[in-house]
């Protein structure tokens, strides 16, 4: 029987890298308008709104991809038994292995993702607060992804054909 674990892991890395690249691209395009206030929010250009929407979308997709695919793929690749385990147990195990720096930090990112998944409020102040929080957490989620990538590079990459590794280079 073929072992598909390496391929699943590399596919998860590639998906996360794609979301990370696009999120950071949008982030860099709106650096000058953050931190935002209500006055700035009310005069956003269509291009700025488009970049902010892309940043929100890619943050959410990256958070989903890491949480639903990458975490599990790493543990399965390590031959950890995660079948029927609650997500908190998965996070605890990742933290024990020093793959995830902080379970609580991840839960905070997940909460922010859930808040962002709801449509923008009619209250400008709430929207500005949510966008500022997102802007502050872009580097955090990216550092979680890069930390997992570094763990992989240090501990796991020798187990996978080097040609495949190039597929998810940032």
Rg (CA), the chain: 18
3-state SS, residue 13 = helix
Distance of CA 61 to the CA centre of its chain: 7
State the number of CA atoms in the 13 A half-sphere of 158 facing the CB: 2
The pLDDT score that the predictor gives to residue 118 is 72
The pLDDT score that the predictor gives to residue 121 is 66
The pLDDT score that the predictor gives to residue 46 is 97
Helices (H) and strands (E) in the chain, counts: 8, 0
State the number of CA atoms in the 13 A half-sphere of 129 facing the CB: 7
pTM of the predicted structure, to 2 decimals = 0.88
The pLDDT score that the predictor gives to residue 2 is 55
Q: From residue 134, give the alpha-carbon distance in Å to each of 114, 119, 147.
A: 12, 15, 20
Mean pLDDT for each consecutive 10-residue tract of the chain (170 residues)? 77 95 97 96 96 96 96 92 93 94 95 80 85 95 94 74 46
Strands (E), 22-150: none
The pLDDT score that the predictor gives to residue 114 is 87
């Amino acid at each position: 029987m073929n072992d598909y674990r390496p391929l699943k892991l590399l596919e998860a890395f590639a998906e996360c890298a794609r979301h990370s690249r696009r999120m950071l691209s949008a982030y860099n395009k709106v650096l000058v308008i953050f931190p935002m206030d209500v006055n700035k929010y009310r005069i956003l250009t269509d291009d700025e709104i488009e970049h902010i929407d892309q940043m929100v979308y890619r943050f959410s997709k990256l958070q989903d991809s890491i949480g639903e695919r990458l975490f599990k793929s790493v543990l399965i690749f390590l031959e950890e038994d995660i079948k029927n385990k609650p997500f908190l147990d998965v996070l605890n195990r990742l933290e024990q292995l020093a793959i995830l720096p902080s379970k609580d930090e991840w839960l905070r990112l997940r909460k922010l993702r859930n808040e962002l998944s709801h449509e923008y409020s009619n209250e400008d102040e709430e929207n500005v607060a949510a966008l500022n929080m997102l802007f502050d957490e872009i580097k955090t989620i990216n550092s979680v992804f890069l930390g997992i990538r570094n763990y992989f590079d240090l501990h796991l990459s020798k187990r996978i054909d080097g040609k495949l590794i190039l597929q998810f280079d940032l």
